[in-house]
């Protein structure tokens, strides 16, 4: 790639939009899986119950069921994509703020249902943001654009995972949740400023055809064998990493770190490795392609899990916490960027919302179902063996790369053809 093409692929308005889609998309997820567990733990909720709270993320798994409606129904304001963006973002702002109305020990079930609502609105926002990003990015910019999106997604964790924790040491939780919710205005402003994407709408048809068309289109391109391999890969590639980080906040607290130490050291140690790793990952994908990036970053991602085992063995050393978290965010950030670019490449622009939702929903299965058992596994085998177990779980996904992302080809068979 020439220097002119490289600058054109990196320095454009589409990449700036990807920053804001990442910030808006990541905020609600990190509220659920970083801020809420600390709040519950401080409120006297048991580790097993906190682990079971991972089940509230089920909407991330099933979002493909209502994605066809978001592909086909155009809201009466702002257009097909921007209208859905605004509605989901306003719903998230108020539902996140509502957490502060409850007491964890007395209202666990009410909190669980509210968390399900936040997950539903968040998953719906992801559907439309992923589709919008797929529609505005040319294929050659998918790697870089998704790398920027993923790193902005992770940077958004600094609000619920850092700022909110620091505020919780001096403010009531009711104020903390409303301040956190206010950061969803970043997404609202983006939605009002950007232009609607110009992509051909799916053909008008009945409900049955609307549900079937996105899947039959993919089957025509990839076939049943390709579909099964790709779906298996999407489930397994990040299962070890997802399980290893599912209880990261209770893990840090149990080791003896304070909330302020977690906020100031653990999260800020991740900031620069996240940014550098994500941008480096995007540049690597521009150079070597998505397939080889999946190989490189998958290995780093797997090795980074071992750092948690070392931390669990050594204990609450602040310098080691910073090192382990920094390396984890470097490796996992790059792996997620390549993984998300792979998913985007697999979708058709005509059915971007539905196909992207299906693939990312499958990728969320380990985070929602497997993660629900993490608390019980830790209590049975301890933290060190748990992280070693998670490292072993990362191997099957790496082996599937031989079929879904061959080293010597930037496109697996049948994946290169995309509808405009």
pLDDT at res. 88: 94
Q: Which residue has the tokens 């682990």?
A: 51
- Evaluate whether residue 420 is within a structural domain: no
Q: Which two tokens stand for residue 29?
A: 């997820």
22 lies in some domain: yes
Taking the alpha carbons at both ends of the chain, their separation in whole angstroms is 23
DSSP-derived letter for residue 364 is: H
Instruction: List the chain pLDDT tens, one digit each, 420 residues.
Output: 545 555 555 667 888 888 899 899 989 989 888 888 888 777 666 666 666 667 777 787 778 888 888 877 888 888 888 899 999 999 999 999 988 888 777 777 788 888 889 999 999 999 899 888 888 888 777 778 877 887 788 788 888 887 888 888 888 888 889 999 999 999 999 999 988 877 666 655 555 566 677 777 788 877 788 888 888 888 888 888 878 877 777 888 888 888 788 777 766 676 677 677 777 777 777 777 788 888 888 888 888 888 899 998 888 888 888 888 888 777 777 777 788 788 888 887 777 778 888 787 777 666 666 667 787 888 888 889 999 998 898 899 889 988 888 887 665 544 434 443
**Considering its fold, how many domains does the chain have in total?**
1
Q: Which residues contact 376 (CB under 8 A, 6 or more apart)?
A: 48, 51
How far is it, in rounded angstroms, from Cα 183 to Cα 149?
Answer: 17
Domain with residue 85: its CATH number is 1.20.1250.20
- Contact between residue 356 and residue 343 where contact means Cβ atoms under 8 Å apart: yes
The reply to whether 133 falls in a domain is yes
DSSP letters spanning 123-145: HHHHHHHHHHHHHHS-GGGHHHH
Cβ of 212: how many Cβ atoms within 10 Å?
13
**Contact 37/51 with Cβ under 8 angstroms?**
no
Question: Does 208 reside within a domain?
Answer: yes
Q: What residue has token string 């310098």?
A: 319
Residue 159 domain boundaries? 3-404
Q: What's the half-sphere exposure (Cβ side, CA atoms, 13 Å) at 69?
A: 6
In a domain? residue 418: no
pLDDT value at residue 10: 60
Contact by Cβ (8 Å): 158, 271: yes
In a domain, 415, yes or no: no
* 8-state DSSP, 54: G
Is 137 inside a domain boundary? Answer: yes
308 part of a folded domain: yes
The pLDDT score that the predictor gives to residue 414 is 45
Predicted pLDDT of residue 418: 41
pLDDT value at residue 203: 58
């Amino acid at each position: 790639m020439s220097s002119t093409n490289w600058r054109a692929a990196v320095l454009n308005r589409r990449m700036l939009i990807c920053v804001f889609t990442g910030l808006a998309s990541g905020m609600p997820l990190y509220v659920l899986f970083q801020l809420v567990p600390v709040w519950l733990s401080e409120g006297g909720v048991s580790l097993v119950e906190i682990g079971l709270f991972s089940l509230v993320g089920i909407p991330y798994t099933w979002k493909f069921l209502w994605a066809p409606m978001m592909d086909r129904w155009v809201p009466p304001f702002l257009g097909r994509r921007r209208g859905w963006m605004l509605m989901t973002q306003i719903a998230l702002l108020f539902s996140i703020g509502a957490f502060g109305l409850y007491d964890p020990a007395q209202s666990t079930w009410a909190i669980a249902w509210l968390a399900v609502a936040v997950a539903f609105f968040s998953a719906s926002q992801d559907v439309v943001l992923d589709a919008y990003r797929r529609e505005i990015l040319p294929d050659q910019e998918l790697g870089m654009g998704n790398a920027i999106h993923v790193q902005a997604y992770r940077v958004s964790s600094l609000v619920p995972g850092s700022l909110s924790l620091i505020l919780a040491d001096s403010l009531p939780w009711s104020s903390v949740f409303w301040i956190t919710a206010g950061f969803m205005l970043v997404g609202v402003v983006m939605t009002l400023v950007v232009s609607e994407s110009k992509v051909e709408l799916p053909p008008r048809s009945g409900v049955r055809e609307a549900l079937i068309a996105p899947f039959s289109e993919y089957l025509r391109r990839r076939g049943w064998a390709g579909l099964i391999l790709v779906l298996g890969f999407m489930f397994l590639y990040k299962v070890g990493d997802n399980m290893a980080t599912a209880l990261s906040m209770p893990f840090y607290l149990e080791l003896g770190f304070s909330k302020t130490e977690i906020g100031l050291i653990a999260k800020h140690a991740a900031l620069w490795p996240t940014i550098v790793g994500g941008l480096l990952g995007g540049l690597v994908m521009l150079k070597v392609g998505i397939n080889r990036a999946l190989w490189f970053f998958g290995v780093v991602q797997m090795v980074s899990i071992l750092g948690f085992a070392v931390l669990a063995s050594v204990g609450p050393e602040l310098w080691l916490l910073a090192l382990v978290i920094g390396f984890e965010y470097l490796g996992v950030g790059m792996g997620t960027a390549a993984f998300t670019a792979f998913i985007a490449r697999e979708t058709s622009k005509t059915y971007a919302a539905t196909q992207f939702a299906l693939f990312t929903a499958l990728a969320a299965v380990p985070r929602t179902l497997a993660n629900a058992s993490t608390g019980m596994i830790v209590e049975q085998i301890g933290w060190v063996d748990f992280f070693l177990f998670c490292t072993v779980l990362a191997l099957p996904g790496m082996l599937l790369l031989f079929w879904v992302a061959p080293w010597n080809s930037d496109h697996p068979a049948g994946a290169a053809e995309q509808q405009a």
